[in-house]
Amino acid sequence: MIELVPAIDLIDGKCVRLTKGDYSTQKIYNEDPVAVAKEFEQFGIKRLHVVDLDGARSKHVVNHKTLERIATATNLIIDFGGGIKTDEDIRIAFDNGASIITVGSIAVTAPELFMKWVSDFGAEHIILGADVRDGWVSINGWKEDSKEELIPFLHQYIDQGVKHVLCTEISKDGMLQGPATPLYKSIMNEFPNCSLIASGGVSCMQDIAELNNAGIPAVVFGKAIYEGKILLNELATWAENQE
Where in the sequence numbering do the catalytic residues fall?
9, 131
8 CB-near residues (< 8 Å, 6+ apart): 15, 33, 36, 37, 48, 49, 50, 51, 70, 222
DSSP characters over 128-197:
EEEEEETTEEEETTTTEEEEEEHHHHHHHHHTTT--EEEEEEGGGTTT-S---HHHHHHHHHH-TT-EEE
How far apart are the C-alpha atoms of 101 and 104, rounded to whole Å?
10
- The residue type of 163 is K
- The residue type of 113 is L
How far apart are the C-alpha atoms of 172 and 67, rounded to whole Å?
26
Say if residues 195 and 163 touch (Cβ distance below 8 Å). yes
Say if residues 115 and 85 touch (Cβ distance below 8 Å). no
